[in-house]
Chain A
Amino acid sequence: MEELANLFHGFAVALQPYNIMLMVIGITLGVIIGVLPGLGGANGVAILLPLTFSMPPTSAIIMLSCIYWGALFGGAITSILFNIPGEPWSVATTFDGYPMAQQGKPGEALTAAFTSSFVGALFAVVMITLVAPLVAGFALRFGPAEKFAVYFLAFCSFVGLSKEPPFKTIAAMMMGFALAAVGLDSITGQLRLTFGVTELLNGFDFLIAVIGLFGIGEILLTMEEGLAFRGGKASINLRVVLQTWRELPAYWMTSLRSCLIGCWMGVTPAGATPASFMSYGIAKRLSRRGNNFGKGEIEGVIAPETAAHAAGTAALLPMLSLGVPGSPTAAVLLGGLLIWGLQPGPMLFVEQKEFVWGLIASMYLGNLAGLIVVLTCVPIFAAILRVPFGIIAPLILVLCAIGAYSVHNSTFDVMLMLVFGVLGYLLKKCNYPLAPLVLAIVLGDKAEEAFRQSLLGSQGSLGVFFSNGLVSTIMALGVVALFWSVIQEGYSRLRTSMA
């Protein structure tokens, strides 16, 4: 019960008027940062970090973590409205969110996304409050082999999801792996596939690829179809929020499952991106309306958003208790902690109680404040779709260009974005799915790194992936996920032959 007393003390700290003001400022800034593709939570926090050095550490972390929540919320907006994910973990949200917006239901999609985000984050905070010490220890068991197993599971739960032929899915995924391999090979320290071009030293940044493939590609497609933006019928009043809320409880099972996936991915720390993909994939497998996924199914918005937020929130736990950031934004916050003179690690919870519990309390309050801010804005966001395409398309193009530029302050990236835009258009015309391509760009190099680290450690023996109960279980789950449709088909055939 000591935790509860600490938490209430934390609420007292977070509820000081000064801190509440910082919370609202942080959420607003965060939403703006999340909406601008390319800027991203990590960059936003990094840019604003120095401004907070003159604040007391507790106030500073409250403001910065609120920027983080705001960015998590904001990432969903452009994904749903324009098919441009502002953050890696919003990619899966576009699969069903964008079709919903096109069908004239942007309000429903946004409400579902924001509400699920809140539910996911809340679940993770409750977990942090209650079982922080236990869960933190679990993260220590994750070495390279366990990490690879998690990525393997993420890929497997995704393969075979799309309606396109498996050959096309695999081709798209392989293209993603090839793009992910460009740049410095972190295991040998050698440059790969850069052909002496300085701009390629950094490889292909995921965000540039996504802004091009989704954003620019989508604009090209829309132009071809006669400049009609199909979201015009969007209803723009707040009643849509209440209507959607009435529907949501029916999906409690999906939410719960996504929360668990998210917390697990956040703590391990694999991050919000695999969490959102994995959660989407599993929801599609297990949902009765699974065949409808990708055509504007509300469950397809709930699953990735819930998981991404649960993971994003849970990622702060290993950062605080172990000093390992679970996400790029957490990494920047970690730098901030050190500058404020706080050493993250096992002793932080003992020595800096006021700070830790103030932060946890601000997670509850910050997310609530965030939910209120973004939900009241749903009609405004939805109304954006009523703007004629002739006006909105150049604006999106400019937004994409700024986003691509701000990733590395490089004009080369803007060119690259256009190239990816054309590529995205061509792939869509030829019915190649973009999702596996993006998944491979995001997780390809991480999976490769973990795989090679494991083999270095085991001196080349593949047995390392089945060397203990934890890693074997995850690998087995991955294999099951990979052959799920075959298993299912076999099972139903067995039943029909029995009958």
Chain B
Amino acid sequence: MKPFVLNVAAAAIVMSCAGSTASRAAWEPVRPVEFIVPAGTGGGADQMARTIQGIVTKHNLMKQPLVVINKAGGAGGEGFLDVKTSANNPHKIIITLSNLFTTPLATGIPFNWKDLTPVAMLALDEFVLWVNAEKPYSSVKDYIDAAKKAPSGSFKMGGTGSKQEDQIITVGIEKAIDAKFTYIPYKGGGEVAVQLVGNHVDSTVNNPIEAVAQWRGGKLRPLCVFDAQPMAYDEPIADGKAWKDVPTCKSQGLAMEYLMLRGIFMAPKATKDQVEYYVELFKKVRATPEWQDFMKSGAFNTTFLTGADYAKWIEAEEKRHEGLMKEAGFLASN
């Protein structure tokens, strides 16, 4: 019996060595990795990047440090161009939001997502239609009626940025219900939510994480979510209602769906090993309790895609954005 046990043990050792040599042969960062955020400090993408940085540091998921760098200039164009011109540099990754599509389309800067190497989709951010809790409309129907009754252009929608996701959704709503809004762009989502609390705008399409505090405080009311299914989180937030109880806009007669990509890309010409390294890294990040708490606090849609599935999703989404932006007249004039 003994030799057999020894053999098994030896085999196990050999195999584990083989395993470790295999993983040693695979690519690993040899210097600090720059984590580019094509948006300002404090916004949604920045929060996610810094959460990831914190998780990586706390759980020792990387041997090299991960350094978050904001390159927000030109609606994120600065960050994308930086990564685009860093071909063959595997020590640079970038987190994207919808400006991956909207910025090049609206400003005409020479950039397309195909210039980068897709790594993984981490999550999708939801959009919710919010109104001030003092307003009489408690359902989407009341809201649509009120918006249609108001003189053309007097109904104000607040949002983050210009010709970006919030304004695209606004144009979508206008088309869907045949009304004319005035869209007012602000710098950040938190500011937009507070403008709604102060009644300086009539409605917003804030991400859940940007407005949840005001909902809990009884200042704002969510009407519907721009997703195909209701959100998954059933922990009560205000008045015994949970994210789960917010109906989809479509089911309420407002046919518009929109989700925002929170995904990771690498510089051009990354090898398969390098992409694989980051995919594994983000799988580990997703498995941590901190990440799950973060997903819950922002009511994220936790779809995870990599490889061909991810590329296919982006391609479809790019077409959709091109269509939406063309319809809205947001394309750069050159």
Residues of A within 8 A of B172 (CB): none
Given A184-B74, A202-B73, A339-B54, the answer on whether A143 and B217 have CB atoms closer than 8 Å is no
Bitwise, B234-260 to A at CB < 8 A (1) or not (0) is: 000000000000000000000000000
Chain B residue at minimum C-beta to C-beta distance from A194: B74
Residues of B within 8 A of A49 (CB): 50, 54
Instruction: Tell me, rounded to whole Å, the shortest Cβ–Cβ distance linking B30 to chain A.
Output: 20
Number of contacting residues on B, CB 8 A? 63
Instruction: Flag if B75 contacts A142 (CB, 8 Å).
Output: no
Q: A424 to B59, alpha carbons, bound, how many Å? A: 49
Bitwise, A383-426 to B at CB < 8 A (1) or not (0) is: 00000000000000000000000001100000000000000000
Q: Which of A185, A323, A332 contacts B41 (CB 8 A)?
A: A332
Instruction: Flag if A453 contacts B184 (CB, 8 Å).
Output: yes
Q: Which of A140, A201, A453 contacts B185 (CB 8 A)?
A: A453
Given A335-B42, A459-B154, the answer on whether A186 and B212 have CB atoms closer than 8 Å is no
Q: A95 to B41, alpha carbons, bound, how many Å? A: 30
Instruction: Tell me, rounded to whole Å, the shortest Cβ–Cβ distance linking B42 to chain A.
Output: 3
Q: A444 to B233, alpha carbons, bound, how many Å? A: 43
Given A140-B194, A343-B213, A347-B213, the answer on whether A189 and B161 have CB atoms closer than 8 Å is yes
The reply to whether the CB of A53 lies closer than 8 angstroms to some CB of chain B is: yes
Q: A44 to B50, alpha carbons, bound, how many Å? A: 14
Residues of B within 8 A of A46 (CB): 41, 50, 68, 70
Bitwise, A292-328 to B at CB < 8 A (1) or not (0) is: 0000000000000000000000000000001111001
Instruction: Flag if B297 contacts A338 (CB, 8 Å).
Output: yes
Instruction: Flag if B74 contacts A347 (CB, 8 Å).
Output: no
The reply to whether the CB of A345 lies closer than 8 angstroms to some CB of chain B is: yes
Q: Which of A141, A186, A194 contacts B162 (CB 8 A)?
A: A186
Q: A372 to B181, alpha carbons, bound, how many Å? A: 55
The reply to whether the CB of A249 lies closer than 8 angstroms to some CB of chain B is: no
Instruction: Flag if B185 contacts A346 (CB, 8 Å).
Output: no
Bitwise, A133-151 to B at CB < 8 A (1) or not (0) is: 0000001111110000000
The reply to whether the CB of A457 lies closer than 8 angstroms to some CB of chain B is: yes
Instruction: Flag if A187 contacts B73 (CB, 8 Å).
Output: no
The reply to whether the CB of B216 lies closer than 8 angstroms to some CB of chain A is: yes
Residues of A within 8 A of B124 (CB): none
Q: A345 to B81, alpha carbons, bound, how many Å? A: 36
Instruction: Flag if A202 contacts B78 (CB, 8 Å).
Output: yes
Instruction: Tell me, rounded to whole Å, the shortest Cβ–Cβ distance linking B286 to chain A.
Output: 16
Q: A433 to B96, alpha carbons, bound, how many Å? A: 42
Bitwise, B166-202 to A at CB < 8 A (1) or not (0) is: 0000000000000000111111101101110110110
Contacts A/B (CB < 8 Å), 30 sampled = A46-B41, A46-B50, A140-B194, A143-B195, A143-B198, A183-B73, A186-B185, A188-B162, A189-B330, A191-B107, A198-B77, A201-B74, A202-B74, A202-B78, A324-B191, A324-B194, A332-B42, A335-B47, A335-B50, A338-B209, A338-B297, A341-B293, A345-B212, A345-B213, A346-B214, A347-B216, A348-B213, A408-B71, A456-B184, A459-B182
Sort A-B residue pairs by CB-CB distance and give the 6 closest, nearest first. Answer: A345-B213, A202-B73, A346-B217, A201-B74, A189-B162, A331-B42
Q: B-contacting residues of A (Cβ < 8 Å)?
A: 42, 46, 49-51, 53-54, 139-144, 183-191, 194, 198, 201-203, 322-325, 328, 331-332, 334-335, 338-339, 341, 343-348, 408-409, 449, 453, 456-457, 459
Apart from A144-B184, A335-B41, list 6 A-B contacts with CB within 8 A: A46-B41, A49-B54, A186-B187, A202-B72, A339-B294, A344-B213
